[in-house]
Amino acid sequence: MKSGVCIVFVAAWMGLAGFCERGFSAGPGVSSSSSVQHDTITPGSSKLFASDAKLQPISAQFSFTEGPAVDKKGNIFFTDQPNNKIWKYATDGTLSLFMEGAGRSNGLYFDRKGNLLSCADEKDELWSISPDKKITVLVKGFKGHRLNGPNDLWMDPKGGIYFTDPYYQRSYWDRTSPDPELKGEKLYYLPNGKNEPVLVDSNLVRPNGIVGTPDGKSLYVADIKANKTYRYKINPDGSLQDRQLFISQGSDGITLDSKGNLYLTGNGVTIYNGTGEKIDHIDVPAKWTANLCFGGKNRTDLFITASESIFVFPMLVKGVE
């Protein structure tokens, strides 16, 4: 979910102006070339979902949905950032409010102990939220400076946290200056047990979505403004090497399935296999598809946050969360 700077999009995305007026635009800096051309793909041809699978709408009561994360039971937690709330969609199909005054949470991720990790955008911090809603601030800044605005995060098998830090001007910030304290929009790593993050890539335009492989060996990062998604090799100390362009398409949120396919958002959901070949697409009837993750009791439900709505799409493959 994005900045208060209104970007003019191609005709297919002209309906996004309403989000700009509220201070949230979809995919700022994304060029018109990022509108995915999927007319040559027959939905379901990848066999990842049935050809007659239907997108199931759950609710459209929100302002802008983001940051879905799945707990050990398969329940999904997601944010409605403009309204400063975190919601829960349970495996039994019930929808309930989990937390108000949620620090303007954006990206979410569950740690191994069941705490909900949050990119708390209100003060540009990383939070850990316990099941009883006790908040622990994990990161307050970088080398004495306020972060731009942590957006999305992923925890590796060692308990370290990678997070993206783009800059999207927020109307609710209490900053004394509209300019960021840190130059550049970068990628950071917080080692397990530490409170000071480590800079792991400063050569990005506007990093956003992020996900790693379950073995902790590879990391994917979407640079939404550059309209590119990269794959890195993760070193034992958490540093990164061998950055490679995975696909010339940016994304808001991203996720992986158990077969190693990567799912990108924006204009619906576009699916790429492990070699970067586009293999399928899921149309989503929304102005902007922001984020997604697998959930449900069997991890075969693809949960999608899109503008003011949330959807569930049945898959034939499991997620990796």
Has residue 49 been placed in a domain? yes
Has residue 29 been placed in a domain? no
Has residue 15 been placed in a domain? no
Has residue 284 been placed in a domain? yes
Domain membership of residue 84 as a residue range: 36-314
Evaluate if residue 26 carries a pLDDT over 70: no
- Quote the pLDDT of residue 174: 86
- Quote the pLDDT of residue 200: 98
Q: Distance between CA 189 and CA 200 in Å, rounded?
A: 6
- Quote the pLDDT of residue 13: 34
Q: Distance between CA 287 and CA 79 in Å, rounded?
A: 17
- Quote the pLDDT of residue 20: 32
Has residue 16 been placed in a domain? no
pLDDT in tens, 242-259: 999 999 999 999 999 999
| Domain total of the chain | 1
At 9, the pLDDT band (50, 70, 90 cuts) reads very low
pLDDT in tens, 178-210: 888 999 999 999 999 999 999 999 999 999 999
pLDDT in tens, 265-274: 999 999 999 9
Has residue 22 been placed in a domain? no
- Quote the pLDDT of residue 16: 35
At 100, the pLDDT band (50, 70, 90 cuts) reads very high
CATH of the domain at 177: 2.120.10.30
User: Can you say whether the dihedral through the CA atoms of 124, 161, 133, 302 is positive or negative?
Assistant: positive
Has residue 181 been placed in a domain? yes
Residue 138 C-alpha from the chain's centroid:
19
Provide mean pLDDT across the span 54-73.
Answer: 97
Has residue 13 been placed in a domain? no
Total H helices, total E strands in the chain: 1, 24
Evaluate if residue 59 carries a pLDDT over 90: yes
Alpha-carbon separation of residue 142 from 97, 126, 132, 145, 222 (angstroms): 32, 11, 28, 5, 22
